[in-house]
Amino acid sequence: MLDLWPRAQLACYYYVMRYTSERATDPGLLVLASLAGGAKHGYAITLDVEQMAGIRLGPGTLYGALSRLEAKGLIEALPAQERRRPYRLTGAGSAALADQLQTMERVARDGLARLRAAEATA
Amino acid sequence: MMRRLAAAALALYPLAFRRRYAEEMKALLEEAPVRALTVLDLLRGALAAHLRPGDGPQGVVGVEDRLRASLSGVLACWIAFAAAGFAFYKTTEDAPFARAASAHLALGASHLVVQALAGAVSLAILAGGLPVALAAMKQARHRRSLRAPIGVALGAVGLVCVLTGALVLLAHTPHGVHPTAPGRAGFAVWGLAVLAAGVAFALAARRALFATSVSRARLLIALATATLASAAMAVIALATTAYAVGLGLDAADLAGTPNGPIGNPSTEATLAAQVAAMAITCALAVVTSHRGWRAVSNTASGSSPATGDSTRA
């Protein structure tokens, strides 16, 4: 019985970390976060995401995410500049990004606090 | 090399996706380094775009072009399905299989259903495709863009006829088509060449279809016959499955023996591969037919652009 509690805590931390890391590497979220800094075209988003999160989005992943976000009305395309088309956040996109980041922040804060508490009692 | 593969992977995306994003994606590929992982990422993205069309751009493809995409999709599926069906015919053509079919009702009936429906599917494809093909050939007199794809399609058909004639001649030589090594090699070369001709025909027919002005009514008639063909393909796949199961139950010794012109591992394994190929191609044909009808019903309800004739495939 005594062994179960640390195991349950570990499982809980594992879930928290997996949840935050999966959400943090979601291409849609990364693209929204990149566009929060201003309108960008595909290649600029790729470079920005790489600098921000250390993840290089492939063209299939990037345009899959752009397509989903555009279909949901979270981003919109601006007039094309030659062959490249910049994208920017819509009002709904800004709200969705803020909501997701606040959730992640809450989960990360609570998870870290629990980790510290567990280390202190160990 | 990787850039060419990436360009080929781009061509695998759905029509709506390509129309909306292909130019941007090409520009991105020109700016960024292209590696094997980039090509894999594009292939994965193309598969995801096909599996979740709702996530893709809406209203980019008009109903006529959606019908063209469905028709060329069913045609490509039928070509792949016919290859699997021909392999089934070759696997089960010998005398022991005919005797087994006479002795066991289920085997005989399922084989008969496959043969009868194979003819019906071919007629349906011909009935739906011929008016469109004739319209394309008529317009090719005045439009240069149509001549190349029509030439490739006719060339592919001619190549299949010539190679099949050569194979028949080879079969009537003292060596025969099988079981000698030259006979097997000849059959393998014929099979690969026919598959390549089939792919060339499907691609050329698609290009010609998108470059041809055809009325919506004619496209709808073609889609109706393509839908019937898709349904018949599903029944053929079921009958082939019934035949494979029946052979395993009623003629187990025959199912386990090596069979076919290139010395297959076993009849059972060969039939399983043929059933899998048929199931996949007929499922794709049913899905692409359904998407054509959905575009028509969306247009009728006003949630999709009514027209969108284009020369870009």
**Closest CA of chain A from B197, distance in Å:** 30
Q: pLDDT digit string (tens) for B96-151?
A: 888 888 888 888 899 999 999 998 888 888 888 888 899 999 998 888 888 999 99
Instruction: Supply the pLDDT for residue B201.
Output: 94
Confirm whether the ipTM is greater than 0.90.
no
- Assess whether pLDDT exceeds 70 at residue B311: no
Q: How many other CB atoms sit within 10 Å of the CB of residue A105?
A: 11
pLDDT digits (tens, 9 = 90+) for A73-113: 999 999 988 888 999 999 999 999 999 999 999 998 999 89
Mark yes or no for CB contact A59/B27 under 8 Å.
no
C-beta atoms of A71 and B45 within 8 A = no
Each domain of chain B, given as residue ranges in start order, spans 2-40, 67-301
Per the CB < 8 Å rule, is B24 touching A41?
yes
Residue percentage of chain B with pLDDT more than 70:
91
C-alpha–C-alpha distance, residues B70 and B68, integer Å = 5
Q: Give me the mean pLDDT over the B39-54 stretch.
A: 90
A63 contacts in chain B (CB < 8 Å): 17, 21, 24-25, 45
Using a CB-CB cut-off of 8 Å, the residues of chain B touching A83 are 23-24, 26-27
Structural domains for chain A: 4-106 (1.10.10.10)
Q: Is the pLDDT of residue B91 over 50?
A: yes
Kindly report the length of chain B.
313
Left, alpha or beta for B302 (phi > 0: left; psi -120 to 50: alpha)?
A: left
Q: Would the pLDDT of B183 be above 80?
A: no
Interface of B with A in 34-53 (CB under 8 A): 37-38, 40-46, 48-49
Q: What is the pLDDT of residues A18-69, one digit of tens each?
A: 555 555 568 999 999 999 999 999 999 999 999 998 889 999 999 999 999 9
- For residue B309, what pLDDT band results from cuts at 50, 70 and 90? very low
Is residue B186 over pLDDT 70? yes
Please state the rounded mean pLDDT for residues B198-226.
Answer: 91
Q: Does the beta-carbon distance from A67 to B55 stay under 8 Å?
A: yes
Give the residue from chain A lying closest to B17, CA to CA: A67
Is this structure's pTM higher than 0.80? no
Query: How many contacts, defined by CB atoms under 8 Å, are there between A and B?
Result: 71
Predicted confidence (pLDDT) at residue B308 exceeds the cutoff of 80: no
Which residues on neighbouring strands pair with residue A89, listed in sequence order?
A75
Two tokens, residue B164:
């099949």
Distance from CA of A119 to the nearest CA of B (A): 40
Q: What percent of chain B has pLDDT over 90?
A: 42
In A, which residues are within 8 Å of B45 by CB distance? 58-61, 63-64
pLDDT at res. A3:
63
| Interfacial residues of A (vs B; Cβ cutoff 8 Å) | 41-43, 46, 58-64, 66-68, 70-71, 82-85
CB B179 within 8 A of CB B121: no
Contacts of B46 in chain A (CB under 8 A): 60
Q: Which of A43, A68, A82 sits opposite B28 (nearest CB)?
A: A43
Phi, psi of B44 (to 5 degrees): -65, -40
Among candidates A46, A62, A67 on the partner chain, residue whose Cβ is nearest the Cβ of B17: A67
Q: Quick one: tokens of B291?
A: 């998407």
Percent of chain A surpassing pLDDT 70 = 80
Q: What pLDDT does B262 receive?
A: 58
Determine whether the interchain pair B28/A85 forms a contact, defined as Cβ–Cβ distance below 8 Å: no
- Cβ of A58 and B45 within 8 Å? yes
Chain A residues closer than 8 Å to B25 by CB: 42, 59, 63
Mean pLDDT, chain B, whole residue set: 86
For B18, name the nearest residue in chain A, comparing CA atoms only.
Answer: A63
User: What is the 3-class SS of chain B, one letter each residue?
Assistant: CHHHHHHHHHCCCCHHHHHHHHHHHHHHHHHCCCCHHHHHHHHHHHHHHHHCHHHCCCCCCCHHHHHHHHHHHHHHHHHHHHHHHHHHHHHCCCHHHHHHHHHCHHHHHHHHHHHHHHHHHHHHHHHHHHHHHHHHHHHHCCCHHHHHHHHHHHHHHHHHHHHHHHHHHHHCCCCCCCCCHHHHHHHHHHHHHHHHHHHHHHHHHHHHHHHCCCCHHHHHHHHHHHHHHHHHHHHHHHHHHHHHHHHHHHCHHHHHCCCCCCCCCCHHHHHHHHHHHHHHHHHHHHHHHHHHHHHHHHHHHCCCCCCCCCCCC
Say if CB B247 and CB B259 are below 8 A apart. no
Q: Across residues B58-87, what is the average pLDDT?
A: 89
